[in-house]
A and B are shown apart, each in its own frame.
Chain A
């Protein structure tokens, strides 16, 4: 009942805020994928956005999806579990054999989409793309690096990906509150690990818990300062595993030291309500999307500061950054989509997915609906106020209500079209701050390589036990239940569990990846 009321309310509001004629109805005749007067239906697995789940029960309730249906003429039946239940729901659907035509968030398939094709769940898109997805085909064949990321090494193409026009600047930062810095008498944001240490000491003395480390004990920014990345990465073409490197021991030593001194929260493993604790000044810093934190702080009346990536010395060159590494995004929610092998109209499914790489689709996914949530003034897109304040839905939620922010489409960078950033010049500025870091590149980044069946089998078999062991030991080393003197035993245990086999599998997949060139 509440839902229906809410829905009616939304509808009335929608009608009310649309002065007649203001909504520039684009002509759908050129964009329809099925002839006028006919409709086609696709079933689509698409987890519900956490910020929207209290407001809508079906994706078809959003203006974005209604417009998408109007433009394409394709009706969609959504299967939308909550994000926390998404992986299990998908696994159940796959096992039951009752597989939706299209699966959005295909990264939920644990062995990877390429293996999903080999397992027979998803179709190889390669035969369809040139004819039914010419725009997407053009994007992925435009550049060698995009081609490598968007295809699997043997010519298979297992998924559609969100592909950016220009790189997306880093969005996660260790955030600080200006008020807390003032309170402890620090004027500059920390740049080196020593600066952080000194800041933490002052915070602790002021009764603030300085640092809420991620619950799993990994913080890529501090790990990166020791010259490596967590899990698999590559250095000069050689695949390595971060957690057994000497640099990782130094990282753990630092974290253990901070934990023992009380700099890291005693409850970091079972943390909850961290945003609130930060807002109240109970914790000093944590890793957070910088613009969201900034805007929230602005609304609540405090100032959020961004920080540069931590370094051992101010002139250290960092190589761990992954944000700029590729234009192809494979880990964002909604950014990776596959077509299932049980889909009866694969051509239509491919055409429907390709729509978001055509001009009208790019406009819709990136901006929304002209006249409803944005307008074009002197050739420049500008969001209307509803984009930040509509019906109680949070700003994050509205990005998936009027538009589909992370959809697999040809995407503009956040700095161009993300409403949170465009809210104010300050919001944009804080995202861009430190983005021009001259001593930073992605040299250690391991691209998203595709493992073949044998390699997948080897990696899964070896790594599922290693991951369990390593994740457990990392926390124990940090908390101190396992002394770091046992580091060598730890490394030899991991090696004894067959690490080298997994490294060999990754290496051969990586070599294939690098040898992959654009198909004619």
Chain B
């Protein structure tokens, strides 16, 4: 039965050119229009303006009237004293986030999934989702208070016999504060996709494993984790694709000149130079450089994953 169906369906699909398919499913295609428009307007039309990265752009003179300077802005950035530092900080914060925040969600999802009591489980899930919805400005306001030398965190440290210190004033602690608070805010939210996948795992697999004498940990390791693997890989590729990005809002809310050394990332640097100092071309050049590197990383990660695990985005 299966054989003829497959051979029949393949030519059937090829015989249907795009236009005819559009005619047939026109309402579905109509629903697609806003999304396509969104991408065309905000993601493709905007690309044209990346040309200011190669100019000495002055808004009043416009793109046509501004002086063309070639790669000067890129040379200035890459030859400047801060290029390596902001690239390094961006990469390190992302590495830490992947190492700790990304894995935290997976571990947390596996733990929640093991809970037997549904009411307790619901409470835990709701409580851990909630921080995700708090405005980043409020979160950073709280963090600033907690990190003061007489704040909550220092009270705990002092109880453990450690010295009180202003955590946000010391470059050594910036990444820890940044990543730890990120885990607190997003660990629950990150579990959703894994929990959805885990619900779909065939219970008979677990039963079979249990009959074979597998303990709880072994079942997690040999049943749940393999089931999650494709999702994890896709998530990881997408996460690695944002390797050169750190949201500047949280950084500029938490950093100060005292912590630039570890806290200043590409986006915050672009923000300062591009918007605060109105050096639009320079900001655009750094941003464009950043996007190109990002693209390279994303393509490499995808290729690597395809070869090693067989899972990939495309």
Q: Are A460 and B256 CB-contacts (below 8 A) given A95-B59, A120-B58, A267-B148?
A: no
A481 to B171, CA, bound (A): 9
A119 to B60, CA, bound (A): 7
Residue of A267, A472, A475 ringed by the most chain B CB atoms within 10 A: A267
Find A267's partner among B81, B169, B261 (CB 8 Å cutoff): B169
Say if the beta carbon of B275 comes within 8 Å of chain A.
yes
Chain A positions within 8 Å of B170 at CB level? 479, 481
Chain A positions within 8 Å of B144 at CB level? 270, 272
The digit string for A238-282, where 1 denotes a CB below 8 A from any CB of B, is 000000000000000000000000000011111010000000000
Chain A positions within 8 Å of B148 at CB level? 267, 270
* Chain B residues numbered 275-292 whose CB sits less than 8 Å from any CB in chain A: 275-280
Whether B81 contacts A270 by the Cβ 8 Å rule is: no
Please classify the interface of chain A as helix (H, G, I), strand (E, B), loop, or mixed, using the class held by over half of its residues.
helix
**B103–chain A nearest beta-carbon distance, Å:** 30
The digit string for A453-481, where 1 denotes a CB below 8 A from any CB of B, is 00000001100110011011011100101
A341 to B275, CA, bound (A): 22
Whether A269 contacts B82 by the Cβ 8 Å rule is: no
Residue of B60, B149, B257, B279 ringed by the most chain A CB atoms within 10 A: B257
A270 to B145, CA, bound (A): 9
Chain B positions within 8 Å of A88 at CB level? 275
A410 to B200, CA, bound (A): 76
The digit string for B61-90, where 1 denotes a CB below 8 A from any CB of A, is 100000000000000100011100000000
Whether A267 contacts B149 by the Cβ 8 Å rule is: yes
Say if the beta carbon of B109 comes within 8 Å of chain A.
no
Whether B277 contacts A464 by the Cβ 8 Å rule is: yes
The digit string for B230-266, where 1 denotes a CB below 8 A from any CB of A, is 0000000000000000000000000011101100000
Find B257's partner among A111, A268, A465, A472 (CB 8 Å cutoff): A472
* Chain A residues numbered 37-62 whose CB sits less than 8 Å from any CB in chain B: none
Find A270's partner among B58, B60, B169 (CB 8 Å cutoff): B169
Whether B278 contacts A91 by the Cβ 8 Å rule is: yes
Find A266's partner among B81, B165, B278, B279 (CB 8 Å cutoff): B165
**A236–chain B nearest beta-carbon distance, Å:** 31
A494 to B277, CA, bound (A): 20
Q: Are A270 and B59 CB-contacts (below 8 A) given A88-B275, A472-B261?
A: no
Tell me the nearest residue of chain B to A469, going by C-beta: B81
**B49–chain A nearest beta-carbon distance, Å:** 11
A471 to B273, CA, bound (A): 15
**B143–chain A nearest beta-carbon distance, Å:** 10
15 additional contacts (CB under 8 A) given A119-B60, A266-B164, A497-B81: A87-B276, A97-B60, A110-B278, A269-B166, A269-B169, A269-B256, A270-B147, A270-B256, A341-B60, A460-B279, A461-B76, A475-B169, A479-B169, A479-B170, A481-B171
Q: Which 4 A-B pairs have the closest CB atoms?
A: A120-B60, A475-B258, A471-B257, A266-B149
What are 7 residue pairs bridging A and B, where the CB atoms are less than 8 Å apart in the complex? Answer: A87-B276, A120-B58, A120-B60, A266-B149, A269-B168, A272-B145, A475-B258
